[in-house]
Amino acid sequence: MYENVEEITEVAIPGYFEFLKTNNMTIAKSKKFTSISTCELLKISNKWCASKTGYNYKLTQIKEYDWLTVEDLNSCIARLGKYISKNSEYEKNVSYYNCDELIGYRLDGYIDCIDNCVDNNSNNVINVWEFKCNKVEPEHFIQVGLYAYLYLKTTRTASADPQRGTAYTDPQRGAEAVNFYIFNILDNSIFKMEFETDKLIEMVKYLFNYKYGDRKIISDLEFIENANSRKEFNHSLSVSLNK
C-alpha cells in the first residue's frame, strides 16, 4: 500500500461495507450506485476526506487510484462482517462546546461507525468503532478518547458503574452498554477501550489547555508527541486487545 493513503483507505473500506449492507454510501452523499469499482471508491473517499478536513492537496497529488485490490477489499469486508451489523451509522459528525474543559473552543469529530446491535448475550449495545489501516499508534487511543468524550457529552449516556465510571448505557438508543473500539481492518486486531469519566474530562482539559492555552504556540507534531508522553493518560484509557 502506498504511503499517505491510509486515511483514504480507512474511509473507503467501511464505505463499501455500508453500500453492500444498505445500498447506500454516506461518503458519496446523495449519489447512488448499482456497483462501484475500487478506483471510483477511492476517489469518492479522497473527496470525502478533503471535504471534512479542508485539506485538498491529495485531490491533485494522487493520480492513480490503484493501491487497493479487489482481493484485499473483499478480505477486509469479510472481517468487518464478523463484527459490524447493518444497523450502523457511518462518518457520524459530532461536536460539543460551551464547557470549562474546552476553554471556549469547539470540539468536532467524525466517528467512523456507531453500531446499534445485539451482542452474543442478546443485549442491545452500542459499539463505537474507529477503523485503521496502518499500525495503531498511541495517538489513536487519544483520538478515540476524544470521540468517547464527544459521544458521552452529546447523548443521554449514563454511567452503569457510578463507582468507577467506566461502563455506560444509552437509554435513548435502548442500549444496555456502550463500547469503544479500534479495529485495524488490515490485520484483524481489535482494541477495546474503557474510560474513567472524570479522568477523560481531565485529559480533554489538558489537551485543550496545552494546545490553545496561555503558553507558547507549538506545532501539531510537537503537540501529539507531548500528549503521547503524558503518563496521566494511561490512567484515563484502559485498553485490551482481541485478535
Helix pair 38-53, 70-81: axis angle to 10 deg: 70
Same domain for 167 and 191, yes or no, is yes
What pLDDT does 144 receive? 95
Q: DSSP for 109-153?
A: EEEEEEEEEE-TTS-EEEEEEEEESS---HHHHHHHHHHHHHHHH
Same domain for 53 and 11, yes or no, is yes
pLDDT surpasses 50 at 189: yes
Integer Cα distance of 219 and 216 in angstroms: 10
Residue at a domain's end among 81, 110, 129:
81
Residue at a domain's end among 81, 112, 142:
81
Q: How do residues 2-21 score in pLDDT, each as one tens digit?
A: 447 999 999 999 999 999 99
What pLDDT does 77 receive? 98
What pLDDT does 1 receive? 43
Residue 194 lies in a domain: yes
Q: Tell me 128's DSSP state.
A: E
Residue 205 lies in a domain: yes
Q: How do residues 61-85 score in pLDDT, each as one tens digit?
A: 999 999 999 999 999 999 999 999 9
Could you give the percent of the chain with pLDDT greater than 70?
84
Same domain for 56 and 99, yes or no, is no
Same domain for 182 and 164, yes or no, is yes
pLDDT surpasses 50 at 190: yes
Three-state DSSP class for 6?
helix
Q: What pTM does this model have?
A: 0.84
Domain range spanning residue 156?
88-242
Residue 179 lies in a domain: yes
Lowest mean pLDDT among 60-64, 157-161, 210-214: 157-161
Same domain for 33 and 133, yes or no, is no
What is the arithmetic mean of pLDDT over 41-59? 93
What pLDDT does 242 receive? 53
What pLDDT does 236 receive? 43
Structural domains in the chain (count): 2
pLDDT surpasses 70 at 175: yes
Lowest mean pLDDT among 115-124, 158-167, 214-223: 158-167
What is the arithmetic mean of pLDDT over 162-181? 76
pLDDT surpasses 90 at 225: no
- Residue 94: phi and psi, rounded to 5, are -130, 145
Contact 8, 45 (CB under 8 A): yes
Residue 105 lies in a domain: yes
CA distances to 44, 59, 84 from 4, rounded to whole Å, are: 16, 12, 26
What pLDDT does 198 receive? 86
pLDDT surpasses 50 at 183: yes
What pLDDT does 147 receive? 94
What pLDDT does 217 receive? 62
Same domain for 70 and 164, yes or no, is no
Same domain for 16 and 32, yes or no, is yes
Written as one letter, the residue type at 225 is E
What pLDDT does 81 receive? 97
Same domain for 111 and 50, yes or no, is no
What is the arithmetic mean of pLDDT over 115-122? 91
**Mean per-residue pLDDT over the chain, rounded:** 86
Same domain for 39 and 95, yes or no, is no
Residue 1 lies in a domain: no
Same domain for 102 and 76, yes or no, is no
Contact 63, 57 (CB under 8 A): no
Same domain for 112 and 202, yes or no, is yes
Same domain for 162 and 235, yes or no, is yes
What is the arithmetic mean of pLDDT over 119-135? 92
Residue at a domain's end among 45, 66, 81:
81
> Where does the pLDDT of residue 140 fall: very low under 50, low under 70, confident under 90, or very high at 90 and above?
very high
